[in-house]
Amino acid sequence: MSAFERYLSLWVALAIVAGLALGQIAPGFVGFLAALEYGSINFVVAILIWFMVYPMMVGVDFSSLARVHERPKGLVITLTVNWLIKPFTMAALGVLFFEYVFAPFIEPGTAGQYIAGMILLGAAPCTAMVFVWSQLTKGDPNYTLVQVSLNDVIMIFAYAPIVALLLGVTDITVPWETLVLSVVLYIVVPLTAGVITRLYLTRGARNPAESEAKVAAFTARVKPFSVVGLLATVVLLFGFQGDVILDRPLVIVMIAIPLLIQSYGIFAVAYWAAKAWRVPHKVAAPCAMIGTSNFFELAVAVAIGLFGLNSIAALVTVVGVLVEVPVMLSLVWFANRTRHWFPLEEAPIRTPRRKEQS
């Protein structure tokens, strides 16, 4: 991880300050950018989101799905946590805190927006930054790639229905057209572009190692655009949200509390399940990280598409960016210091020996 990535939380914090300042200094310019939209999709933010997502999608190799049958324990844990537990616990925490605990401190009628932002985060497991967390915990890169690829395939089909289900449960009207359009724009389109780019880069490669080297070299060149897109999006979002935040700065703290509980709680569930099932550490750490981390680029994009640039839901997803990096770095530290809890490798499958005939 580069120094810039290591201090990503600092750069996000500076981007937040820059966004707040921009909203106060040049409100007309911010309003002009906010008006560049069609069907609740802002053109400027859409371009920035593509900058964020595309470099990550180039690294996804769907041919790795052919190996899903190998060492299935890590996949079972990842998929169970990501799709059967995490979205629902995030929604439950949102209801608990914003319908009850923080209800006296927020504007009447806004609880649903806070809950919606949390749902959008909780239903989108990480697809890119997990490669960084896996590397920092000495995870198995091939297995991590299988996990990410399988989650991406599931996300294409499951994200919209899960979000719609949970938003419906919390009595928020679901604009299906916008939700599906957001999934197409921010998952299907960049994923397709990433697959095409990967095929182009790896043509003529003599072996898998050479293919991965070409992909790695390309993603290294375009990765700065991803970070720039993220920081520029944060600047814009906080520029649009400036008045709300400056009037009520404790909103950020209130949003961060349930997000922190969710992050550490989900990691504990996945990590202890892997320990109990005797999954090797190089698989256990990444499979716990995937569930803990979020595909916040998608969550930000869908929140903007569903509720608008100035919505509290969009603010919640941006605070998720601010919270996630320090949380994940603390979990990397913990995972590296508990490596001895896990076996080095999974026990091989033993085939019963046939009894010799007399």
The verdict on residue 354 lying in a domain is no
SS3 label, residue 351: coil
Direct distance between the N- and C-terminal alpha carbons of the chain, in angstroms, rounded to an integer = 63
Per the model's pLDDT, the better-predicted residue between 124 and 352 turns out to be 124
The encoded tokens of residue 271 equal 């990590």
Kindly report, residue by residue over 44-69, the tens digit of the pLDDT: 877 887 877 777 678 777 676 666 66
Q: In the Cβ-directed half-sphere of 195, how many Cα atoms lie within 13 Å?
A: 11
* 209 has a pLDDT exceeding 70: yes
SS3 label, residue 127: coil
Cα 323 from Cα 317, distance rounded (Å): 10
The verdict on residue 349 lying in a domain is no
pLDDT of the residue at 264: 95
CB 172 within 8 A of CB 99: no
The verdict on residue 347 lying in a domain is no
The verdict on residue 346 lying in a domain is no
pLDDT of the residue at 107: 85
Q: What is the mean pLDDT of the chain?
A: 80
Cα 257 from Cα 262, distance rounded (Å): 9
The verdict on residue 13 lying in a domain is yes
The CATH number that applies at residue 266 is: 1.20.1530.20
Closest CA to 295 of 47, 57, 59, 127: 127
Of the pLDDT bands very low, low, confident and very high (cuts 50, 70, 90), residue 352 is very low
The verdict on residue 357 lying in a domain is no
Kindly report, residue by residue over 322-348, the tens digit of the pLDDT: 787 788 888 988 999 999 999 876 544
pLDDT of the residue at 274: 93
Q: Is 355 exposed, middle or buried (0-12, 13-18, 19+ CB in 10 A)?
A: exposed
Q: In the Cβ-directed half-sphere of 238, how many Cα atoms lie within 13 Å?
A: 25
pLDDT of the residue at 83: 92
**Residues linked to residue 37 through DSSP beta bridges, in sequence order:** 42
* 96 has a pLDDT exceeding 90: yes
The verdict on residue 139 lying in a domain is yes
pLDDT of the residue at 177: 66
Count of domains for the chain = 1
The pTM score is 0.71
* 85 has a pLDDT exceeding 90: yes
Give the number of other Cβ atoms within 10 Å of residue 193's Cβ: 15
The verdict on residue 355 lying in a domain is no
* 351 has a pLDDT exceeding 80: no
Parent domain of 177: 3-341
Q: In the Cβ-directed half-sphere of 178, how many Cα atoms lie within 13 Å?
A: 18
Kindly report, residue by residue over 231-282, the tens digit of the pLDDT: 887 788 778 767 767 777 788 899 999 999 999 999 999 999 999 999 999 8
Cα 67 from Cα 283, distance rounded (Å): 14
Cα–Cα–Cα angle for 153, 5, 260, nearest 5°? 70
